[in-house]
Chains A and B, each alone.
Chain A
Amino acid sequence: MRRFSSLWAFLFLILLWEGIKLGLKIPEYMLPSPQRVLSALLSMLVSGELLKNTVASLFRVTWGFYLAVFTAIPIGLFLGRNLLAMKAFTPIINFLRPISPLAWIPIALMWFGIGDKPAIFLIFLASFFPMLVFTMSAVTNIKPIYFRVAKNFGLKGRELYLKVILPAALPEILVGVRITLGTAWLVIVAAEMIAVKSGLGYLIIDARNSLRMDKVIAGMIVIGIVGLILDIFIRQIERFPSVEWSQMRR
């Protein structure tokens, strides 16, 4: 029954939507009815428009996100272990971090032109800084006892990183991955509204230009569903036994 409870909540949301629309007599061009949105969703699914754009968005997010994760984690692991370096770089990171990735759009277009590259660049920027901060704090939060034990048994250098630092920081890093992936997915839509001619962001902007609010909402729904699925995927990683420990002992 617990699994179905969330379905009931979704159903309630749809009924609320229908109820408000009928009760306040909102015209179709302002807020389409759930049935209209559903039929728009189905027609785009049949025409392949939906799949094509979802794949295009996922492609960009995957590239930008992976690039960020695979650069930010090693740098974060290193900085987290070197107090001096961390002290030196933290102000720079905190200066760059609050600059919205959207503010980078003009520069991204200037540097990378039109196409996938500027969008990937924006996703990279949106993911890199949070991932770096999460990794750094994960490393500084490692219990000192683990370092003492490692020293005691002569673990040094690469071995220390692979056997102790990375696995000890991993649960917190994964929380960072989950939150950052959510952010990346937020940013892709905005990036696609400007730089490219495909993707879910483009689908929404294109539908708005032709005044098809049903397609706009259908696009939003797909964005939500994909975000939900991505989150479920990462939650699965957190269940691995070598990561699970952080939740067990509290």
Chain B
Amino acid sequence: MEDKILVKDLKKIYLERRAKRRFLSQCHYKEECLVLNDLNFRVKNGSFTCFIGPSGCGKSTLLRIIAGFDRPSSGEIVIDGKRVKGPSKRHVFVFQEDGLFPWLTARQNVAIGLKERSKSKEEWDSEVDEYLELVGLTGFENHYPHELSGGMRRRAEVARALISNPDILFMDEPFGALDFVTRLQMREEMVNVHAMFDMTILFITHDIDEALQLGDQIIVLSDRPSKIKRDIVLNFPHPRDLTKGELQEIRKEIYYQMGLHVAL
């Protein structure tokens, strides 16, 4: 498999605007804040890459830069041999927060992801329903987001991302707010989704087991300013049994890298 994404010497410095109050006026000054420090890695075409790191370490910033929503301070991102200059319609994000439009039904929400506007209403609806079925939301097409459970809302969002047929799917802690069992179900479904669609997935998570279960590659980031601590390739077939020896070893290694010694 060839490389899909190449990240070269990526640095990101934020200029933080600070304000000092004075009598009736504010004095602004800027402070440099190094977030990402010389990141180098590759992501293979069609692979599932998980990013793990302490909170606030710049994982979201990294994903936003790769997707072209934000610019690197130095270094470059190369996708398909071309340097990333801005966002592309082929790169779709599933955000951490609830991103469904609450004024639209599940079906209307998924239809937002459809790009060919020329189709007839029937073709449109049947395509949307196909994707809703895929994520297990048949029977809830006309429900509004507030009438769906947290897991169902996430599924609808995944359907909306998939229907737009992305090249790269970015997921920023998509299941962070779900309860434990729903999270396990979503994990399983992500494995199926990745097997069915030919796309590269970049996935941020706090959950080490989630990364072990899903990832073809796990990149462990350090605290801010973030560096890559480990870049692990996992060549295990799905479904994976996390209690198996080798995966157990990797899990221990990641815990260790994150500075956790007693959590096991």
Contact = CB atoms under 8 A, between A and B. Distances in A.
Interface string B68-100: 000000000000000000010100110101110
Interface string B92-119: 1101011101111000000011010000
Interface string A137-152: 0000001011011011
B89 A145 contact: no
A148 B69 CA distance: 10
Contacts of A170: 103
Given A241-B144, A245-B145, A146 B93 contact: no
A152 B145 CA distance: 19
A145 B146 contact: no
A224 B145 CA distance: 38
Given A146-B101, A149-B99, A242-B103, A155 B112 contact: yes
Max chain A C-beta neighbours (<10 A), residue from B104, B112, B164: B112
What's the interface size class on B, roughly? 20 to 34
Contact of B112 (A163, A168, A246): A163
Contacts of B87: 151-152
Given A154-B89, A167-B101, A170-B103, A249 B146 contact: yes
Given A153-B164, A155-B112, A163-B112, A168 B103 contact: yes
Interface in B17-50: none
A248 interface: yes
A164 interface: yes
A239 to B, nearest CB: 13
Contacts of A148: 93, 95, 99
Most buried by B among A143, A164, A243, A245: A245
A249 B92 contact: no
B99 A145 contact: yes
B254 to A, nearest CB: 30
A145 to B, nearest CB: 5
Contacts of A145: 95, 97-99
A155 B112 CA distance: 9
A148 B97 CA distance: 11
Interface string A213-250: 00000000000000000000000000001111110110
A167 B108 CA distance: 13
Contact of B103 (A152, A153, A167): A167
Interface in A12-52: none
B134 to A, nearest CB: 18
A243 B95 contact: no
A164 B160 CA distance: 16
Nearest to B64: A148
B99 A245 contact: no
A245 B102 contact: yes
Interface in B172-227: none
Nearest to B117: A159
A246 B145 CA distance: 11
A117 to B, nearest CB: 38
Contact of A245 (B93, B112, B144, B164): B144
Interface string B141-170: 000111000000000000010001000000
A249 B146 CA distance: 7
B61 to A, nearest CB: 14
A204 B260 CA distance: 80
Q: Which of B87, B95, B99, B102 has the most CB of A within 10 A?
A: B102
A170 B104 CA distance: 13
Among A148, A153, A168, A244, the one with the most B-chain Cβ atoms within 10 Å of its Cβ is A153
Given A148-B93, A153-B113, A155-B112, A249 B102 contact: yes
13 contacts: A145-B98, A146-B99, A148-B93, A149-B95, A149-B99, A153-B113, A153-B160, A170-B103, A242-B103, A242-B144, A245-B102, A245-B145, A248-B146
Closest 6 A/B residue pairs (Cβ): A245-B102, A167-B103, A248-B146, A149-B99, A242-B103, A145-B97
Given A168-B101, A245-B145, 8 more contacts: A145-B97, A146-B99, A148-B95, A152-B92, A164-B101, A168-B103, A241-B144, A249-B102
Interface of A: 143, 145-146, 148-149, 151-155, 163-164, 167-168, 170, 241-246, 248-249
Interface of B: 87, 89, 92-93, 95, 97-99, 101-104, 112-113, 115, 144-146, 160, 164
